[in-house]
Amino acid sequence: MADARPDKFSAGEQGLGYIYQARLALLHLLQLPEDTAVCLEKDDDLDFVDGDGAKSLASLKHKAIGDRLTDLSTDFWKSINVWLARYKRDGRAASNLRFFLFTTATVSSGSFLARLLPDQTVASGDATTLTELADATLAESNSKLIAPIAMAFNELSDFEKQDFLERILILDGSPRIGDIPALIRDKYMRPIRRDHREFVFERLEGWWTDAVIKHLTGARPEGIFGYEVSDKLSSFAEEYREDNLPITFRGKRPADEIDTGTDPRLFVAQLREIGISSDRIRRAILDYYRAFEQRSAWARENLLVLGEVEDYEDRLTDEWDRYKDVVFEKLKDDSLEDALREAGATLYNWAEFETGKIESLRIRARVTEPYVLRGSFHILADSTPAPKVYWHPRFLERLGNVLEVAS
């Protein structure tokens, strides 16, 4: 049987903590007023700053299932150490700081830390202050880790100790990392159809992760505001309405290098046949890739109605056929190759630049992303055994030679 003991060199728990930090920040930013901003790894794990400038520092602890928080738990006192330094720096009792400990553990019954839980009331006749409880706890400790924290705490006056402790709130039993996505989906995505919420959450978290990375690397030193999350969530939700579809491949590129000179695909051969430049062919390959992958993504997410793509392609083909007849009607059987290529280029230019202005050629009314339409024409131009659209007037007659060269 394999050894199930954790590798002493493993950084798994630490890595999990960083992911938990970002996810919990997103969850709580959704719960707070939209003018609240969050910073990561600044004064504490998370700093929340409200619209009036008041700051809440939050320490996060993702613990093993069943863990308890006791009077001398190092998780609590290490957080105290951080908070004490910020409290003294910002003017002690004159500061506007509050302190939160988010932990998946639960506070042990009988621990004085229970007084720091939400909505706790002092029992009738119990005149023991938080300061007295903390002092008594520290007096019992022999921990080398806690000793310097006790010294820093004892530098405060009794009034400051009480003020400091009253600013602390312990939120035990906080959601575990794997529970957060469902909490966000169920509570903050109700306007979105249930079968779409998982995909919307994936996109929201993808955007959030990118924003967090930019924040941590200094690309955006300011905090991330709640209204940014609301706006992004609203934008994603709009893309999943009945008259719209999500656009997720804008700016994406294929993994393989684009080679316009040797690409064997039929739609590329068609563009070479009418003399389209290498740069424009490169853009056409990108449009084809993005449209193809986008359709595949829509299909995986079950966003397309049965027969919707086929109906869309029929509309494109019919419009192409009508315009083709107009462009080609003055050509003769003996027209020179230059005239044939010019007519083909005119037809292709119409498909690339003019069809986007025709609302009836959108797959859905609000899907206006150009690569969807342009790439769809290339998909039709790549159909086998014969393309459903073509640009050069004699392309179908020459198709055998083109395929032979490509092979």
Residue 405 has a pLDDT of 54
Q: What is the pLDDT of residues 160-181, one digit of tens each?
A: 999 999 999 999 999 999 999 9
Mean residue pLDDT of the chain comes to: 93
Residue 389 has pLDDT above 70, yes or no: yes
**What average pLDDT does the segment 358-386 reach?**
97
Residue 217 has pLDDT above 50, yes or no: yes
d(CA 90, CA 96): 8
**What average pLDDT does the segment 117-129 reach?**
72
Residue 122 has pLDDT above 80, yes or no: no
Question: Closest Cα partner for 223 from 23, 47, 6?
Answer: 47
Based on its alpha-carbon atoms, the radius of gyration of the chain, rounded to whole angstroms, reads 32
| Contact assessment for residue 364 and residue 294, using Cβ atoms and an 8 Å cutoff | no
**What average pLDDT does the segment 374-402 reach?**
92
Q: Strand, helix or coil at 402?
A: helix
Q: What is the DSSP string of 101-163?
A: EEESSEEPTT-GGGGGSTT--PPTT----HHHHHHHHHHT---TTHHHHHHHHHTS-HHHHHH
Burial environment of residue 250 by CB neighbours within 10 A (0 to 12, 13 to 18, 19 or more): exposed
Q: What DSSP character marks residue 175?
A: P
Residue 313 has a pLDDT of 98
**What average pLDDT does the segment 191-216 reach?**
95
Residue 303 has pLDDT above 50, yes or no: yes
Residue 402 has a pLDDT of 62
**What average pLDDT does the segment 257-275 reach?**
96
pLDDT band at 399 (very low <50, low <70, confident <90, very high): confident
Q: Identify the helix (H) or strand (E) that includes residue 60.
A: strand 55-61
Residue 129 has pLDDT above 90, yes or no: yes
Point out which residues pair with 49 in neighbouring strands.
37, 55
Point out which residues pair with 39 in neighbouring strands.
47
pTM: 0.82
Report CA 331 to chain centroid distance, whole Å: 53
d(CA 316, CA 338): 27
Residue 1 has pLDDT above 50, yes or no: no
Residue 371 has pLDDT above 60, yes or no: yes
Residue 10 has pLDDT above 50, yes or no: no
Q: What is the pLDDT of residues 13-58, one digit of tens each?
A: 666 878 999 999 999 999 999 999 999 999 999 999 999 999 999 9
| Contact assessment for residue 372 and residue 294, using Cβ atoms and an 8 Å cutoff | yes
Residue 4 has pLDDT above 60, yes or no: no
The residue with tokens 């206006």 is: 368
How many residues appear in the chain?
A: 407
The region that residue 147 occupies, defined by phi over 0 for left and psi between -120 and 50 for alpha, beta otherwise, is: alpha
Of 6 and 180, more confident:
180
**What average pLDDT does the segment 300-327 reach?**
97
Lookup: tokens for 301? 């997410």
The region that residue 275 occupies, defined by phi over 0 for left and psi between -120 and 50 for alpha, beta otherwise, is: left
d(CA 309, CA 202): 25
Question: Closest Cα partner for 177 from 13, 19, 10, 14?
Answer: 19
Q: What DSSP character marks residue 354?
A: I
Within 10 A of 385 (CB to CB), how many other CB atoms are there? 7
